[in-house]
Structure 1
Amino acid sequence: MTTLITADFVIAHDGRGHTELRGGAVLVDGACILWVGRADDAPAGPEVDERIALGRSILMPGLIDLDALADVDHLVLDAWSDGAAQRRLDWSADYFARRHEVLSAEERSTMRRFALTQLALHGITTFMPIASEVHSAWAETHDDLLDVVRIAGELGLRTFLGPSYRSGVHVTLDDGAATIAWDEEAGRHAFSEAVRFLDTVEALGDPLVTGILAPCRIETVRAELLEATARVSAERDVLVRAHALQDLSERELLAEAYGTTPLGLLERVGLLNERLVLAHGVYLDVHPEVHGEDRGDLAKLAAAGVSIIHCPLTNQRYAFLLEKLSQYLDAGVNVALGTDSFPPDLIRGIDAGVHLAKAQHADLGRGLLAEYLDAATSGGARALHRPDLGRIAAGATADLSAFALDDVRTGAVDDPLRTLVLAGSARDARFSMVAGRVVLRDGTIPGVDLDRLRADGQRIFDRLKAAYSERDHLAATGEPLFPPVIPPFAESH
């Protein structure tokens, strides 16, 4: 089937980089882009089966989110704590001993459907889900991720995924001290589930599903499991997505346990190579809270071919900032983007990153908007080793996203990318396509009851929020875990 898509603005690729094409058209044949050019020059006649006119929209490569929403409450509840309560949402030591599943299997599936539908509604076409185990008895399972595959398949999204695994979990002791509680056997079992999932994905043979290995935060994964991860990754040529270089406590814990830095540990266990995708990658030697100078970390990442998943909106909300995107790019490090929170809005993430870059450089000319667009598209494709993704060009895979610019609240359109980032958000997603299949049309997903989904999402959120009071050590003190922004209204007496 051939489909001709037209839009006032198309972000095409000329083989060297993204280019802006006004009054553009894209001809899709099956799962592949057959032709890109001006709409006036587009093929005409009966050989085009469907025509989709997007009008005053910007059509770009499908957005790639490599740290994508997988639950309902991530960041919504835990990005507001004061210094005294920074760790209050960790498990308590008591809960570690009696941990259990907060949600039923059906509720977990509902939560995933809510999350994945949000990705589609925000114009994301390819995703790698974040680990979502805080509400679990321990870690994600083979069947949990098989359910993600099923839901993603129904929606038509492309996914790279595997169950997360860990040997330990951050807990807060009765005296308020932070530590890691370990369960070695649970860690080994979780890793075996992850390897079994690779076998399942291979047997499925679905071109939209790629298995990866996804160790959780590296300070919670024993070195022997990280070594096993590196071995399986090499044997099967699969990607590894790990959360690392994420906070200063991670550096302290690994220095105490192994006498090295997070980067040193990754190198020691055999993970520092082109198959590694690091979520965050913030606390390198260039960071002012580490050394504040380049001592070779960026060069080591670039030489190894490691990709970084930069999550600018989450970084700002949690107050840990990449130092700086330009340094990573200048050093030759490939950078992809992730949302890592609700809402999964990469457009707002790009906007946050652009303004952070201006502030860090004290220079309006260093907004790096083009670089952030590249990270959300081509950078993600490079991290995934998929040169057919992340670009609109003949021969590329037909993964596309379009955002409307026709709302009066958007204002006048000058440069379409600047207009989208300054005045819009991913809620302006109008259309998306994955491998030639339309996922989002006129801002809606065919066959999805969004009213019911909203109600389901609220119900699951309320369950998850209530569970924090069981897990958190401060709950017993009566201190409110989630105080409101302003005091609630009270009747006068």
Structure 2
Amino acid sequence: MTETPTPATVIRNAAFIVAWDETTGHHRLIEGQDLAFAGDRILQVGGHWDGPVAEEIDGRDRLVCPGLVDIHSHPSSEPMNKGMLDELGSPGLRMSSLYEFMPLFRPDLKGTLAASKVAFSELALSGVTTIVDLTVAYDGWVDLLAASGLRAVAAPMYRSARWFTGTGHSVEYDWAEDDGRTAMAEALDVIDAATAHPSGRLSGMIAPAQIDTCSAELIRDSFAEAQARGIKMQIHAAQSMVEFNEITARHGRTPIEWLDDLGVLTDGLIIGHGIFLNDHPWAGWPGSQDFDRLVASGAAVAHCPTVFQRRGVAMRSFGRYLRAGIPMGIGTDTYPHNMLEEIRHALINSRLMTGDVYDIRAADAFDAATIGGAKVLGMPDIGRLAPGMKADLFLADIKHRAMRPLRDPLNSLIYVAGERAVTDTFVDGRAVVRDGVALAFDLDTELEALEAAQRRAEAQFRELDFRHRSHEEAAPITYADRRDDA
């Protein structure tokens, strides 16, 4: 008996499709053709779909793209920092805001929930279909990840010590008596819960938080656990000069060298940021050959340009890492959780660092945000539009004013229109954005809740700050001194 074909959702006569060419192993642009999917899989890309149709989407004014893969994000906290950390850093701590300010301005549980929902909505609205959520686990987190509709990798962070500063120019570490083992055990339970979740869209990642807050034993044992489970491990490393100086002071080795010494600088490790190598102009640590060591290792790097560029910091350079064959993916890290903006900043910053407009092209960065991220995560069925792949994709309106005049649709999307042109996003064949509206959560309601959480955080800022400043003293409101409150 012949099996009856499943009716498909068909994007009919799409103006442009960023399709996967299996022969060349690259994305390619096709015009005026169909894309069909049913269930969680793509059935056909290109040509005319002649099978049964469940829903037909008029694609004549649409650019169809593979869903973006965000390999490093902090949804549970970062959205609340908008307006607070935009222009804030510690001059005595090489312009980082990690040590002096971020511990002072954190959401409570209600704020965490609102921040997460806002971030998940922003991600979907910018074409993201897969995220790695690096979060300190909280009650209800796994179910909230599932409710987002996104394909999510839960990466519950844990560590041996917390950092703090009492001076604004030095950082101290408060080490836990159990070396973070209790937190690690709890994180593994969360990973198990995510992997077993009935949605089928969740998985897990081992995430010792930062190289300088984790003992050698915790890092080694974490990587061994990741290898035993067949999953990835991600750790923040080479992300600040404070960390670089701390690791070289402790061990006489750069962060990259120390990871290598520990036996974890290899395939299966994702380095969050990986900016401050020994040859970075700020580092001044000759002879270590961090870049060559990284190239030879097989370890991947999660590149998140936006949060660093706000503090005058940039990788040197994204194009160099890519050309050397380092596995690279892109992440949003901070607010806004806007992947198209991260792609644009990755391109522009790489050119700024090299002084060469030909250093990197839009295709290079788009590859990193799609097939690159998929490869880093070990998910071969996402990041590309081809039959049999997951039905993870987004549509952009080529008639949007920011897309016109239209000559190169992907360049117009990345360099100009960004998320404003995104109309629809699908994950596993299910819509998470339709007609420009994120469906999982009421974004306006969650923004109201997030603003209320921000007010609560402001109220406790002074008592947490070692300098006893108000939040407005630490981060003055623009033109507040000229504000007329009458």
TM above 0.5, yes or no, is yes
State the match for 2:21 in structure 1: 14
Equivalent residues of 2:244, 2:255 under 8 A apart? yes
Q: 1:451 to 1:326 in 2, by over 3 A?
A: closer
Helix, strand or coil at the partner of 2:437: coil
How far residue 162 of structure 1 moved from its aligned partner, in angstroms, is 2.5
State the match for 2:363 in structure 1: 370
Helix, strand or coil at the partner of 1:184: coil
1:63 to 48, 62, 68: 68
Q: 1:438 to 1:180 in 2, by over 3 A?
A: same
- Give the Cα separation in 2 of the matches to 1:206 and 1:487: 48
1:434-449 alignment, distance < 5 Å:
434-446=427-439, 448-449=441-442
State the match for 2:409 in structure 1: 416
RMSD: 2.8
State the match for 2:291 in structure 1: 298
Matched, 1:48 2:58: no
Task: Kindly provide the amino acid, as one letter, of the partner of residue 50 in structure 1.
Answer: E
Task: Kindly provide the amino acid, as one letter, of the partner of residue 14 in structure 1.
Answer: D
Helix, strand or coil at the partner of 1:49: strand
State the match for 1:5 in structure 2: 11
Helix, strand or coil at the partner of 1:28: strand
Matched, 1:391 2:356: no
Q: 1:487 to 1:394 in 2, by over 3 A?
A: same
Equivalent residues of 1:272, 1:306 under 8 A apart? yes
1:95-134 alignment, distance < 5 Å:
103-104=108-109, 106-131=110-135
- Give the Cα separation in 1 of the matches to 2:279 and 2:134: 26
Which is further off, 305-314 or 419-428?
A: 419-428
Helix, strand or coil at the partner of 1:480: helix
How far residue 319 of structure 1 moved from its aligned partner, in angstroms, is 1.9
Equivalent residues of 1:73, 1:464 under 8 A apart? no
State the match for 1:402 in structure 2: 395
Q: Among the aligned pairs, what percent are the same residue?
A: 28
1:470 to 455, 463, 466: 463
Equivalent residues of 2:118, 2:443 under 8 A apart? no
Helix, strand or coil at the partner of 2:310: helix
Which is further off, 147-156 or 427-436?
A: 147-156
Matched, 1:213 2:219: no
How far residue 335 of structure 1 moved from its aligned partner, in angstroms, is 0.7
Please, which runs of 5 or more residues in structure 1 have no aligned partner? 132-139
Equivalent residues of 2:235, 2:270 under 8 A apart? yes
How far residue 380 of structure 1 moved from its aligned partner, in angstroms, is 0.4
Helix, strand or coil at the partner of 2:264: coil
How far residue 321 of structure 1 moved from its aligned partner, in angstroms, is 0.7
Which digits, 9 at most, give the CA deviation of each residue in 1:127-152, with x for residues without a partner?
01234xxxxxxxx23x44xx232123
Which digits, 9 at most, give the CA deviation of each residue in 1:329-365, with x for residues without a partner?
1211011001111111121222222222333333333
State the match for 2:323 in structure 1: 330
State the match for 1:31 in structure 2: 40
After TM superposition, the score normalised by the length of structure 2 is: 0.89
State the match for 1:457 in structure 2: 450
Which digits, 9 at most, give the CA deviation of each residue in 1:300-333, with x for residues without a partner?
3233321111112222112221111221112110
- Give the Cα separation in 2 of the matches to 1:321 and 1:101: 25
After TM superposition, the score normalised by the length of structure 1 is: 0.88
State the match for 1:135 in structure 2: none
Which digits, 9 at most, give the CA deviation of each residue in 1:56-86, with x for residues without a partner?
2321110111122412224642241365474
Equivalent residues of 2:142, 2:190 under 8 A apart? no
- Give the Cα separation in 1 of the matches to 2:479 and 2:407: 39
Task: Kindly provide the amino acid, as one letter, of the partner of residue 8 in structure 1.
Answer: A
Matched, 1:235 2:222: no
Q: 1:334 to 1:151 in 2, by over 3 A?
A: same
Task: Kindly provide the amino acid, as one letter, of the partner of residue 2 in structure 1.
Answer: A
Task: Kindly provide the amino acid, as one letter, of the partner of residue 11 in structure 1.
Answer: V
Task: Kindly provide the amino acid, as one letter, of the partner of residue 144 in structure 2.
Answer: I
- Give the Cα separation in 1 of the matches to 2:251 and 2:285: 23
Equivalent residues of 2:195, 2:202 under 8 A apart? no
Helix, strand or coil at the partner of 2:474: coil
1:272-311 alignment, distance < 5 Å:
272-290=265-283, 296-311=289-304
State the match for 2:197 in structure 1: 204
State the match for 1:136 in structure 2: none
State the match for 1:246 in structure 2: 239
Task: Kindly provide the amino acid, as one letter, of the partner of residue 20 in structure 2.
Answer: H
How far residue 8 of structure 1 moved from its aligned partner, in angstroms, is 1.2
How far residue 291 of structure 1 moved from its aligned partner, in angstroms, is 5.1
Please, which runs of 5 or more residues in structure 2 have no aligned partner? 1-6
- Give the Cα separation in 1 of the matches to 2:97 and 2:373: 33
- Give the Cα separation in 1 of the matches to 2:89 and 2:276: 21
Matched, 1:180 2:173: yes
State the match for 1:137 in structure 2: none
Which digits, 9 at most, give the CA deviation of each residue in 1:374-421, with x for residues without a partner?
011111001111111111112211110222222224330100011112
Which is further off, 225-234 or 266-275?
A: 266-275
Q: 1:286 to 1:404 in 2, by over 3 A?
A: farther
Helix, strand or coil at the partner of 2:415: helix
